[in-house]
Amino acid sequence: MKKIVSCILTAVLFSLFYPQKGWCQETIDLPPYRKSPVINNDSTITFSLIAPHASEVKLLGVSSSPILLSKSSEIPGEWYTTLKLRPNLYTYNFEVDGVRTLDPSNSYIARDISSLFNILIVPGANADYYESRDVSHGAVSKVWYHSTSFENDRRLTVYTPPQYEQEPDKKFPVLYLLHGMGGDEDAWNELGRASIIFDNLISEGKMEPMIVVMPNGNARMKAAPGLTGEGMYVPDAQYSVSPRGVFENAFPEIIEFIDEQYRTIPDKTKRAIAGLSMGGGHAWRISMMYPDLFDYVGLFSATVRWNGTNVDSDNNVLDASLQRQFETPPSLYWIGIGKDDFLYDLNQSFLSTMNRLNLPYLYHESDGGHSWSNWRDYLLIFTTELFKPTIQ
Amino acid sequence: MKKIVSCILTAVLFSLFYPQKGWCQETIDLPPYRKSPVINNDSTITFSLIAPHASEVKLLGVSSSPILLSKSSEIPGEWYTTLKLRPNLYTYNFEVDGVRTLDPSNSYIARDISSLFNILIVPGANADYYESRDVSHGAVSKVWYHSTSFENDRRLTVYTPPQYEQEPDKKFPVLYLLHGMGGDEDAWNELGRASIIFDNLISEGKMEPMIVVMPNGNARMKAAPGLTGEGMYVPDAQYSVSPRGVFENAFPEIIEFIDEQYRTIPDKTKRAIAGLSMGGGHAWRISMMYPDLFDYVGLFSATVRWNGTNVDSDNNVLDASLQRQFETPPSLYWIGIGKDDFLYDLNQSFLSTMNRLNLPYLYHESDGGHSWSNWRDYLLIFTTELFKPTIQ
C-alpha cells in the first residue's frame, strides 16, 4: 500500500514548474508525511500514528477487541502496532485517548450508517477480488426513479458491465441486490466492493455480464443521508425500520423503471434478486410475492421471518406462498449463513420448512457471523452462478 | 443540522422489532452520541468534541488561522467553540493534541487530493444551492472510456439532467468541466457540489438541462486513487503534473465517446468547456486548439500560460491561435478570478492580450483567492449563461 502525498508535496512540485508562491486548494496545514498501514515484506501489517501527547492509542476494528499501540523508540511521537491479518477487507479506526479518529495517513474510507472507517485490504484468497485491477470497468451510476407508491423520487445505484458500452445492441440480464438494516443504496458498493468484484469476475469470465441494481430498501428514506431536502442530517433510528411490506409491495416499479431506462432482457429467466440481512428478508418475500419475476434468489444471512403486510403470520400461508413460487422452481435458490450468525437458528428453521415441503435449494454454511466479510464472499459465489444453464 | 444515530441505536430499535441479541454490521464500539456542528438559533455555529484527556483542541479550516476550542464547564470532557460564519460550504478538521482528526459527529466529508475534511454548509446566499433539495435529480455516473492516445481506460464523471430520463427522445447540450491540480474526476462533484448545484439551478429554470462531463485531467492518472490496478495508494506527486499538452491533444476522444454513448447535440453551438486553475488552463488551450468544438468557454482562476507541447511559447503564436479561435467569436468567453488569487496578475496580463487583440469576453472579478468557494460561485454564474441566445 503506497501512501500519501499531501497538498504540500504537490505544491512543491507545482512550484518547480510554475514558479509562483506555493498554494493549496484549501488552506489547512497537513500532518507530516506518514505511511499507515504498511504491509511488510513478511506479510505482517504495521499501523502507525503520530500522537506525541497521547497517553493511549488503540486500533479498533481488525480484531474482536481493541489493540493497544506501543510508543516507538525510533520516531518521536509515533505509536505503532505490527500484526498478522488474514486476507480480507478490514475497516478500522484509531482511538487516541478516548477520541475515535480516522487514520490520517489513509484516505480510503467507507461509511457504515453514519460512521466512517478506514479501509485496509490484505491481499490473498477472495480479497484479491476486492481490489481494482487493470481490467475493463463497468459504469456505476447514481440514478433517481419516481415511485408512485412512495410518492417521491428515490435513489438507486446501477452497475452496467463494460460490455454495456462495448456492445450497444446487446441486452443484459439484471440482478437486484439489496442492502441490510442501516445501509442504503451506497452500501453494497462501498462496504461490499460490488462493482470492483463484478469487474474482476467478469474479466475472468466467471460472471455473466449483467446489470446490477442496488436500491434504497428503507421505506422511510429516499436516498443516502445528505442527498434529499431534509438536508445534511443523519435521520433518527426509525428511518431504517421499514413499515412491513411497503418496500416489498412497491418493488415492481423499480423493475419497470430499469426495464424502461436500460437495455435489459425483461424476462424472469434473466432476472435475479439477492440481499443481505434485512435485504435478504426483502429478497425472500419479494420473490415469493411475485413468483413470475425472479429465476434466481440469493438469501445472505437473511431475516427469513414471514411478516409482510399482505399476508398472515400463519405458517400455512408461508407454505402456500413457497409452493406457489416453486410451481416452476427457480433455477437457483441460494441460502448462505455463518455458523456464528445470530440469524443462524432462524435460517435453520427455514431450511426445515424447505425440506418439509421438498423444495430445492443450495445451502452454503460459512464460518463467522453477520458480517460484510461473509456477504462479500456470498456475492462472489452467488453471482458466478447466475444466468447460466440450470444447475439443479 | 440534525445528527447522528449510531449502529447502537439502530440495534436497540432493531431488537424491539426482532427480539434477538443486538448486533452491528461491524463490531466497533462507537463514541457517545454527540451533535457537531450545530447551527444555533442566533445563526452562530457550535463545533464540539468529546476529548476528556486532551490538553489542546483546535478547529482547522473555517478561518485563516486555527481556532482554539474551550473546555466545557457543563459536559465532562467536552471541548467547544461557537462562532459566526458567513453562508458558504466549509471544510474543516479538528486537531487534538497535534493529531488531525475528523469530527466524529459529522459523517459528511469530502476528499481533497489525499486528505479528508468534514463538510459544513452554512445556509444563505449561494450556499443555498449547495444543499440537496426535494427537486428532480439528475443521475451521476462514473464511466470509463478507452483512450487510444493514452492506451488505457480512463474514468469520467457524467451528470445527466432529470430531463434525460423524462424525455427519452430529447438530445442535450454538453458542458465539459475540468478540475484543478491535485484534483481528479471526483473533485467537481465532491468539493464543487456540481450535481447538486445543477439539480437546483435546473429546477428553478435558471440553467438549461445539459449533460456535464467531468474527466480526469491528469495525464499520469487513469482514475481517482484506489480505482486502478496500482491498488489503494496515493501516487507520488508527479501524477498531477501532466506532460504538457498530452491531455489537451487527446481531448477530442472524450467528446467522441460522449457523443457516441449519450444523446448529445454534437454541434459547436451546443458544446461548452470550463475548468478551474490547471483545468482552466486546459479549457483555455483546448478551446484554442480546437476552435470548431466549443461555443462557450469558462476560465475559472485559470493558469493561462501558453505552454502546450504543439506550439512555441512565442506570443505571436498565442495571438494567432486566439485570433483563429475568434474568427467566429464564441457565444461566451468567460474569465473569472479572485482579487487575492496568486494567478491574478497572470490573468490581468491575459486580459491585456484580449484587449490588444480586441477580442470579446466577459470578466468577473471576485473577492478571495484560489478557492473552491470562488469556483462554486463561478460555476453558478457560468452555467446559467450557457446555451441561451447569444449575449454579446
**How would DSSP label each residue in B309-339?**
TTS-S-HHHHHHHHHHHTTS--SEEEEEEET
Q: B127 to chain A, minimum CA–CA distance in Å? A: 12
Contact check, Cβ <8 Å, B165/A261: yes
CB contact under 8 A, B60 and A162: no
The confidence score (pLDDT) of residue A315 equals 74
Residues of chain B with C-beta less than 8 angstroms from the C-beta of A143: 139, 165
Compute the nearest-CA separation of B134 from chain A (Å): 5
With beta carbons under 8 A apart, name residues in chain A contacting B371. 25-26
CB contact under 8 A, A98 and B51: yes
Question: Under an 8 A CB cutoff, do B235 and A371 touch?
Answer: no
CA-based radius of gyration for chain B = 23
pLDDT at res. B316: 82
Omega of the bond leading into B209 within 30 degrees of 0 (cis): no
By CA distance, what is B51's nearest residue in A?
A99
Question: For B196, which residue in chain A has the nearest alpha carbon?
Answer: A227
Q: Which residues of A touch B343 (CB under 8 A)?
A: 20
Instruction: Give percent of chain A above pLDDT 90.
Output: 71
**pLDDT of amino acid A136:** 96
Q: What is the DSSP letter of B264?
A: B
Q: Write the residue in A7, A114, A233 that is nearest to B115 by C-beta.
A: A7
A4, pLDDT greater than 70: no
Name chain A contacts of B261, Cβ cutoff 8 Å: 165
Cβ–Cβ gap B25/A114 under 8 Å: no
Q: Using CA of residue A54, residue A60, residue A62, residue A63, what is the dihedral sign?
A: positive
**Of residues A117, A226, A371, nearest to B108 (C-beta):** A226
User: What are the Cα distances from residue B22, in Å, to A204, A219, A306, B10, B12?
Assistant: 39, 22, 20, 9, 7
Interface contact flag, A153 B137, Cβ < 8 Å? yes
Interface test with B, best of A36, A232, A345 (most B CBs within 10 A): A232
Nearest to A26 among B4, B31, B117 (CB): B117
pLDDT tens per residue, range A286-344: 999 999 999 999 999 999 986 544 344 557 888 999 999 999 999 999 999 999 999 99
Smallest Cα distance from B265 to chain A, Å? 19
> pLDDT tens digit string along B295-311?
999 999 999 986 544 33
Q: What is the pLDDT of residues A167-184, one digit of tens each?
A: 999 999 999 999 998 899
* CB–CB contact B3 A64 (8 Å): no
> What is d(CA A51, CA B96) in angstroms, rounded to the nearest whole number?
9
Q: How far is the alpha carbon of B310 from chain A, nearest alpha carbon, in Å?
A: 18
CA proximity to B283, closest of B312, B256, B259, B247: B247
Nearest CA to A32 among A19, A18, A14, A51?
A51
Sign of CA dihedral B67, B73, B74, B77: positive
pLDDT attached to residue A231: 65
User: Is A107's CB within 8 Å of B225's CB?
Assistant: yes
pLDDT along chain B (392 residues), means of 10: 35 33 34 72 92 94 94 91 95 93 88 85 94 96 95 96 96 97 93 97 97 93 85 52 78 97 97 97 95 98 71 70 96 98 94 95 97 97 87 46
Chain B residues whose CB is inside 8 A of the A56 CB are: 53
Q: Which residues of A touch B181 (CB under 8 A)?
A: 10, 14
| Contact between B142 and A139 using a beta-carbon 8 Å cutoff | yes
A3 versus A51: which is more confidently predicted?
A: A51
Across the interface, whether the CB atoms of A50 and B99 are under 8 A apart is answered: yes
Cβ contact B97–A54 (<8 Å): yes
Q: Do B25 and A51 touch (CB under 8 A)?
A: no
Please report the pLDDT score of residue B226 as a whole number.
85
Confidence of residue A5 (pLDDT cuts 50, 70, 90): very low
Q: Indicate yes or no: CB of B98 within 8 angstroms of CB of A77.
A: yes
Report the pLDDT value the prediction gives residue A316, as an integer from 0 to 100.
82
Task: Please tell me the predicted confidence (pLDDT) of residue A210.
Answer: 98
Using CB atoms, which residue from B2, B54, B77 is nearest to A233? B2
Q: Among residues B282, B298, B210, which one has the least CA distance to residue B250?
A: B282
Residue-level pLDDT at A306:
67
